[in-house]
Amino acid sequence: MRIKKNDTIQIMSGKDQGKSGKVLKVFPDQGRVLVDGLNMVKKHVRPRKQGQKGEVISIPRPLNVSNVLLMCSSCGRGVRIGVREESGTKIRFCRKCQKTL
Ligand SMILES: [Zn+2]
């Protein structure tokens, strides 16, 4: 997984194609990421207690990482990233402008 929590990503497919958002959570074992405000799904909630109303809430659903690209601040859009090792630490970089991300 090259996407980490708090990354800003852009969605490349589906109904939110082209939109960007912040990664709230990653699910490495499923290869999915949860992005704030994107891939929203309406969920109907039943009243649990007496006097409480049932309502429709919108919640974000996890997206497959293969459908998202990391945003590059200099390119201003989602880009393919590469990983290289520099003095023992892995560094992600933009394949387009070589900027470290
Ligand atoms: Zn770039």
- 46-72 pLDDT tens trace: 888 888 888 999 999 999 999 999 999
92 CA to middle of ligand 1, Å? Answer: 11
Q: Is residue 49 part of a domain?
A: yes
Contact 16, 33 (CB under 8 A): no
Domain assignment present for residue 95? The answer is: no
For 36-80, where are the E strands, in sequence order? Answer: 40-45, 55-60, 63-64, 68-72, 77-79
- Kindly give the distance from the C-alpha atom of residue 56 to the centroid of ligand 1, in angstroms, as a whole number: 39
Residue 78 lies in a domain: no
Q: Tell me, in angstroms, the distance from the centre of ligand 1 to residue 75's CA.
A: 4
In this prediction, residue 63 carries a pLDDT of 94
pTM: 0.83
Residue ranges making up the domain that contains 52? 8-72
What CATH number did the domain enclosing 62 receive? 2.30.30.30
The count of structural domains within the chain is: 1
pLDDT tens figures, 3-17 = 999 999 999 998 899
